[in-house]
Amino acid sequence: GENVEQHPSTLSVQEGDSAVIKCTYSDSASNYFPWYKQELGKRPQLIIDIRSNVGEKKDQRIAVTLNKTAKHFSLHITETQPEDSAVYFCAARGGYSTLTFGKGTMLLVSP
């Protein structure tokens, strides 16, 4: 089955800095890669996603890049703010839209 590796497990940045989280996947048939943000005690919320026919997608301060050849994708957050502090999960889509998730990255943004 699909295997998704996510790095780093924790990331500390100063407010205003950029943050990058990287994921690799194993199944070359995967064609959809979402990113979720989860605040403490809350449900995961979709923040951005990318399909395999696109190399990059942006939404304000958040961007995702995909390299299908290398089977890796990354989340980029610019101008980080304290409210960006949360756990971020990457995922890859398999059959019947099942998602395999990475183990998560705890992002801490210090004022």
Partner 1 sequence: NAGVTQTPKFRVLKTGQSMTLLCAQDMNHEYMYWYRQDPGMGLRLIHYSVGEGTTAKGEVPDGYNVSRLKKQNFLLGLESAAPSQTSVYFCASSYSNRAHYGYTFGSGTRLTVV
**Interaction residues for partner 1, span 65-94 (CB under 8 A):** 89, 93
CA neighbor of 88 nearest in space, from 13, 8, 2 = 8
Interface pick for partner 1 out of 49, 57, 65, 108 (rule CB under 8 A) = 49
For 29, the token pair is: 């048939």
CB 55 within 8 A of CB 43: no
Smallest separation (angstroms) from partner 1 to the CB of 23? 11
Interface pick for partner 1 out of 40, 69, 70, 96 (rule CB under 8 A) = 96
**Residue count (the chain):** 111
Smallest separation (angstroms) from partner 1 to the CB of 14? 25
Residues 26, 66, 7, 93: is their CA dihedral positive or negative? negative
32 binds partner 1 (CB under 8 A): yes
Q: How far apart (Å, rounded) are the C-alpha atoms in residues 59 and 49?
A: 10
47 binds partner 1 (CB under 8 A): no
26 binds partner 1 (CB under 8 A): no
64 binds partner 1 (CB under 8 A): no
CB 47 within 8 A of CB 35: yes
Binding positions for partner 1, rule: CB under 8 A: 1, 6, 9, 32, 34, 42-46, 49, 89, 93, 96-104
